[in-house]
Amino acid sequence: MNPLGVSFCGVRLRNPTVLASGVLGITAAQLKRAEDGGAGAVTTKSIGPEERAGNRNPTCVALQHGMLNAMGLPSPGYEAMEAEWRQLKKMKVPVFASIYGASVDDFRRVAAYVAERKPALIELNISCPNTAEHGQVFGFEPSVAADVVEAAKDICGKVPLSVKLTPNTYKIAAVARACEEAGADAICAINTVAGMAINIEARKPVLSFKKGGYSGPAIKPIAVRCVYDIYETVDIPVLGVGGITTGRDAIEMMQAGATAVGIGSAVYYRGPNVFKHVCDEMRDWMRCNGFSSVKSLVGAAHD
């Protein structure tokens, strides 16, 4: 038996580590670096309704305890993805397709196109803080999030539907419950935490978009808390994301309630083989602590 094997919404993963959306891009060539680096599944950068350049540089800066980015959802638009899908289909590990939109209708349109290409799972990004008009607004309010899920669920057919939530609301567990009631098959938590950095000599924000999303080690306690609360509120599986850099981090996130873990910024800190490193560290920890299957860790920190 493979001690790290898990099933996420019926999708079999060789291990619970998943490349988080946006960190390695949208093409099969980029995502393959995570597959080769040991990821159990890979998530595409969020695919949008039309071509979008994203924000002006600088869009990303490494800070002392994490990364701040405001990429602004650069995307070729879903219709320009046709050749890429043929390549994505050849990948050995499951591909999760992340999508975004500025309206419920956008989400429906992109979901309809993507669902026909049969990815292993569709992830609705209703939580991106880095554009003036896209996404985040859907993730703040339970009823608004539910509208997007209901609209997309209809057309996803048999492809499982996950919803990526923002921590920038005090209602994350209520939003998760509303998504579950609207038909979501899984929750992904969390997207980046709203943040900002200022260059004090220039007396200007560091990022051209001024504000951005904070990720990496500093946000792990925020993500663990969100996943813990969501696990207590819903019955669908949770993909825990935020600050996971080591095997110990992954185990902590699973004990909070995650069935699988997303890894984003740590690809920057430890390189694309981070997935192998995290899995090796998980195996070592499990051996030392008497766990024969990673599945028994899920939710272990709950009473």
Ligand X SMILES: Cc1cc2nc3c(=O)[nH]c(=O)nc-3n(C[C@H](O)[C@H](O)[C@H](O)COP(=O)(O)O)c2cc1C
Residues with a catalytic annotation lie at 128
Q: Does 242 bind ligand X (CB under 6 A)?
A: yes
Residues in contact with ligand X, counted by CB under 6 A, come to a total of: 28
Q: Which is nearer to ligand X, 53 or 288 (CB)?
A: 53
CB of 125 to ligand X, least distance (A): 4
Q: Does 67 bind ligand X (CB under 6 A)?
A: yes
| Distances in whole angstroms, Cα of residue 99 to Cα of each of 28, 48, 138, 226, 285 | 16, 6, 13, 22, 35
CB of 61 to ligand X, least distance (A): 10
Q: Which is nearer to ligand X, 22 or 142 (CB)?
A: 22
| Distances in whole angstroms, Cα of residue 103 to Cα of each of 61, 110, 132, 269 | 29, 11, 13, 35
Other beta carbons within 10 Å of 143: 10
CB of 107 to ligand X, least distance (A): 13
Task: Pick the stretch among 85-93, 199-207, 229-237, 240-248 that binds ligand X (CB under 6 A).
Answer: 240-248
Q: 216 and 66 in contact (C-beta within 8 Å)?
A: yes
Q: Does 32 bind ligand X (CB under 6 A)?
A: no
Q: Does 71 bind ligand X (CB under 6 A)?
A: yes
* Residue matched to tokens 């990004």: 125
Q: Does 168 bind ligand X (CB under 6 A)?
A: no
Q: Which of 4, 6, 20, 172 binds ligand X (CB under 6 A)?
A: 20
Task: Pick the stretch among 7-15, 64-72, 227-235, 272-280 that binds ligand X (CB under 6 A).
Answer: 64-72
In angstroms, the CA 96 to CA 99 distance is 10
Ranges of beta strands (E only) in the chain are 6-8, 11-13, 17-19, 41-43, 60-62, 67-69, 95-99, 121-125, 161-165, 186-189, 193-196, 198-199, 204-205, 211-215, 238-241, 260-263
CB of 11 to ligand X, least distance (A): 18
Radius of gyration for the alpha carbons in the chain, expressed in angstroms and rounded = 18
CB of 67 to ligand X, least distance (A): 5
Q: Which of 32, 164, 177, 277 binds ligand X (CB under 6 A)?
A: 164
Kindly state the tokens that stand for 261. Answer: 């873990």
Q: Does 45 bind ligand X (CB under 6 A)?
A: yes
Positive or negative, the CA dihedral 207, 211, 213, 219 is positive
Q: Which is nearer to ligand X, 269 or 291 (CB)?
A: 269
List residues near ligand X by CB under 6 A.
Answer: 20-23, 45-46, 60, 67, 69, 71, 73, 98, 125, 128, 164, 191-192, 215-216, 219, 241-244, 263-266
